[in-house]
Amino acid sequence: MLLDAEESQLVLVDYQQALMPAIHEAGLVVANAVRLARIAQMLQVPLWATEENPEGLGGTVDVLQPLVAGRVLSKMAFDGTGVLLPRLKPAAKPQGGNARSLPKHLQKAAPAPAATRESIVLAGCEAHVCLLQTALGLLEEELEVWVVTDACSSRSERNRDAAFDRLAGAGAELVTTEMVAFEWLRDAGHPRFKDVLSIVK
C-alpha cells in the first residue's frame, strides 16, 4: 500500500519554541518537518499543525511558522485528536426534511459528501507523548496513520524508539520524509517532480 497525495493530509505535532531545544536531533527533525510542509503545499496536500499549551511551550518554531500560518490548532490534551478530527474528518451534514417534505420517490438524491482524505501523515514531538497519543486517537477513529520517523523525536532516543515500536504494533505505518515525497509523486513524469526533488536534496 502506497501513500496517495489526493487521499492524504499532513499533521505536524507540537514543533514548539520551548520544546525543541530539548529534543534529540532537533535540527534534523525540524528540517524534515519543513520539507514535508513545503512538499505538501506544492502538491496541494492539506496541512495542519498543533501546539500543546502554547502559553507554556511557546508557539511553533520560527522556520515552520510561514508554512503553517492560519492552520495551527492549540490544545491542552496530549492527544490532539479532539481538535484535529473536525478538520480531518468533517461530520456528514444531516439531511433536512419535515412533515411536508416530498415523498422519498420524488426527492432529489442528496449530494454525496466530499471524500475524506483518510491517510494522515503525522510527524512531531514528543514521539512518546503527544505524537503517540494523537496517532492512537486517529487510529481509533479509523483513519490511516503514517508516522514520518525522521521528522519525529523525543528528549531521549529510548522514548522515541519505544514510541515507534508501539505505533507499529498498533497499526501505524512507519515511513521517512523521502518515502512520503516519492509516494506522493509516484513517478518522475509528475509536473512537480523537479521541484520536490530540489527540496528532498
Give the residue extent of every domain in the chain: 5-89+115-200
pLDDT tier, 114 (very low <50, low <70, confident <90, very high otherwise): very low
Residue range 96-103: mean pLDDT, rounded: 55
- pLDDT exceeds cutoff 70 at 103: no
With 50 as the cut, is the pLDDT of residue 9 above it? yes
Q: Would you say residue 69 has pLDDT above 90?
A: yes
State the average pLDDT over residues 188-192: 94
Nearest in space to 8 (alpha carbons), one of 109, 128, 138, 102: 138
CB atoms within 10 A of CB 70: 4
Q: Report whether 191 contacts 10 (CB < 8 A).
A: no
Average pLDDT over residues 55-71: 97
Which pLDDT value is given to residue 98?
A: 53
Residues 70, 155, 76, 167, Cα dihedral to 10°: 90
Question: Does position 106 have pLDDT exceeding 70, yes or no?
Answer: no
Q: Is pLDDT larger for residue 93 or for residue 140? A: 140
Q: How far apart are CA 79 and CA 86, in angstroms?
A: 14
Residues 6+ apart with CB under 8 A from 133: 78, 79, 80
Within 8 A by CB and 6+ apart from 74, the residues are: 50, 51, 54, 83
Whether the pLDDT of residue 96 is over 80: the answer is no
Segment 42-67 mean pLDDT: 97
Number of helices (H), then strands (E), in the chain: 8, 6
Q: What CATH architecture does domain 5-89+115-200 belong to?
A: 3-Layer(aba) Sandwich (3.40)
Question: Among 37, 25, 88, 28, which residue's Cα sits nearest to residue 65?
Answer: 37
d(CA 2, CA 6): 12
- Cell output for 115: 471524500
| 62 in Cβ contact with 18 (< 8 Å) | no
Tens-digit pLDDT profile for residues 142-152:
999 999 999 99
Question: Can you say whether residue 122 is alpha, beta or left, with left for phi > 0 and alpha for psi between -120 and 50 degrees?
Answer: beta
